């Protein structure tokens, strides 16, 4: 049996390889739906790391397989990133993968190409150190997460027919072990009116005026939403408001607000919709309340329509998967793992939220840097994460065999 110290030592010796791979990934721009080039680079790396099989599915997700044991485990990191925003806000080239004083900078460094590099090289260490066992490990580079979290895993589970018994979501946790996060929904509230010439507005019905009290009621609703202590309360906010009219010299004949609804553990899609539909202003305006749909082709041209409903998920405190993750951390690093939860949403909304497959979070980098012009990741995090991923499958099997 390989000791935890030997696994950590092997990961430390691999530091330049994983850091170099991450810098290569950062150099390849990969917005949602435009991931083809970065997928090709990941395939190349997985093959060099002696994976048993590397495939790209119909949607464009890349899946590297190690082993053929009966226990199916998956590590997930999405390969797409958000754009850079205003380039003037960056002090480094966002696509150079600059490294300074033990920190790598650039778009995707933290969210989440650093994690992708780490899970791929975790698989490399499994092969190098002979850590295979009675498990099949899928190392997944998933697509379109930034646009529609969980879409990729709905495809993997429903179409690829791969259903792991446990999934590690490698989104940044600052090397903590995370149990879940709130869900979310994208909702529109729509009011209609009657257009007329702006010189005589009394002849029409202004849809914006019908929307105005709804805006106030949504703000008040946010204060009333509840939840539970660990994941926190639900929230709702208006992200956008728009209207239509025949011209800027006319009364608006429609108005729409876009709601970002964050779901507590006590919320469901039906309860969240009911809370909005029951608002007096919504009833008075006869407004429509609609859950939006995502329908955008992947880089392979596959369109896989889904509702923009992303359920909450929360792993129980005594779950064997959580014990395995925390125990693995303590064995490797000699300190208790920090147990936490994400503020944002991840692919866990599909894996556990929709399909009930237990999920655990562990990833390098601090989520506070996600989507920022200061995006960065410590090289030390990459090294520790590679060791954790390499050791995790055996730690998981040991835990479930003693449960």
What average pLDDT does the chain have? 97
Q: Using a pLDDT cut of 70, give the percent of the chain over it.
A: 100
State the pLDDT at residue 174.
97
Residues annotated as catalytic are 80, 145
Residues 8 and 123 in one domain: yes
CATH at residue 191: 3.30.70.360
Residues 17 and 145 in one domain: yes
Q: Average pLDDT for residues 276-292, to the nearest whole number?
A: 98
CATH at residue 173: 3.40.630.10
Residues 25 and 111 in one domain: yes
Residues 31 and 160 in one domain: yes
Whole-angstrom CA distances from 259 to 179, 183, 240, 289, 343 are 26, 14, 7, 10, 18
Give this prediction's pTM: 0.94
Residues 202 and 111 in one domain: no
pLDDT digits (tens, 9 = 90+) for 167-207: 999 999 999 999 999 999 999 999 999 999 999 999 999 99
Assess if residue 140 is contained within a domain.
yes
Q: Average pLDDT for residues 279-303, to the nearest whole number?
A: 97
Q: Average pLDDT for residues 84-101, to the nearest whole number?
A: 94
Residues 233 and 164 in one domain: no
CA distance 165 to 400: 11
State the pLDDT at residue 308.
97
Domain extent for 60:
4-181+312-401
Whole-angstrom CA distances from 336 to 283, 330, 331, 362 are 52, 5, 9, 14
Choosing from 237, 264, 294, the residue where a domain stops is: 294
Assess if residue 303 is contained within a domain.
no
pLDDT digits (tens, 9 = 90+) for 1-53: 799 999 999 999 999 999 999 999 999 999 999 999 999 999 999 999 999 99
pLDDT digits (tens, 9 = 90+) for 228-272: 999 999 999 999 999 999 999 999 999 999 999 999 999 999 999
Residues 207 and 343 in one domain: no
Number of domains in the chain: 2
Residues 323 and 270 in one domain: no
Q: Average pLDDT for residues 365-369, to the nearest whole number?
A: 94
pLDDT digits (tens, 9 = 90+) for 301-346: 999 999 999 999 999 999 999 999 999 999 999 999 999 999 999 9
Which residue(s) pair with 185 in the sheet? 261, 309
């Amino acid at each position: 049996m390989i000791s935890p110290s030997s696994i950590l030592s092997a990961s430390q010796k691999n530091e330049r390889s994983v850091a170099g791979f991450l810098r290569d990934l950062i150099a390849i721009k990969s917005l949602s739906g435009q991931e083809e080039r970065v997928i090709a680079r990941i395939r190349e790396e997985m093959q060099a790391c002696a994976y048993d099989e590397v495939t790209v599915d119909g949607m464009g997700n890349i899946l590297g397989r190690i082993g053929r044991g009966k226990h199916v485990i998956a590590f997930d990191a999405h390969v797409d990133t958000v754009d850079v925003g205003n380039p003037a806000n960056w002090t480094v080239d966002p696509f150079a993968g600059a490294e300074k004083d033990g920190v790598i900078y650039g778009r995707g460094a933290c969210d989440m190409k650093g994690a992708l590099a780490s899970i791929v090289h975790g698989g490399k260490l499994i092969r190098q150190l002979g850590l295979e066992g009675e498990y099949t490990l899928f190392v997944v580079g998933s697509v379109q997460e930034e646009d529609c979290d969980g879409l990729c895993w709905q495809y993997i589970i429903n179409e690829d027919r791969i259903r792991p018994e446990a999934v590690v979501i490698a989104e940044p946790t600052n090397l903590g072990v995370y149990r879940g996060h709130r869900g979310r929904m994208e909702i529109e509230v729509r009011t209609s009116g009657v257009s007329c010439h702006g010189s005589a507005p009394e002849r029409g019905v202004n849809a914006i005026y019908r929307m105005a009290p709804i805006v106030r009621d949504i703000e008040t609703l946010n204060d009333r939403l509840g939840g539970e202590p660990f994941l926190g309360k639900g929230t709702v906010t208006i992200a956008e408001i728009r209207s239509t009219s025949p011209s800027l010299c006319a009364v608006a004949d429609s108005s729409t607000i876009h709601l970002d609804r964050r779901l507590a553990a006590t919320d469901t899609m039906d309860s969240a919709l009911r809370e909005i539909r029951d608002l007096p202003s919504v009833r008075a305006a006869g407004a429509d309340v609609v859950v939006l749909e995502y329908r955008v082709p992947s880089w392979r041209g596959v369109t896989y329509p889904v509702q923009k409903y992303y359920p909450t998920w929360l792993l129980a405190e005594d779950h064997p998967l959580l014990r395995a993750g925390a125990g693995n951390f303590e064995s490797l690093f000699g300190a208790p793992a920090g147990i936490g939860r994400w503020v944002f949403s991840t692919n866990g909304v599909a894996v556990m939220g929709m399909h009930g497959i237990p999920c655990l979070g562990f990833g390098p980098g601090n989520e506070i840097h996600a989507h920022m012009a200061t995006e960065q990741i410590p090289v030390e995090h990459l090294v520790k994460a590679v060791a954790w991923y390499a050791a995790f499958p055996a730690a998981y099997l040991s835990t479930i065999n003693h449960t």
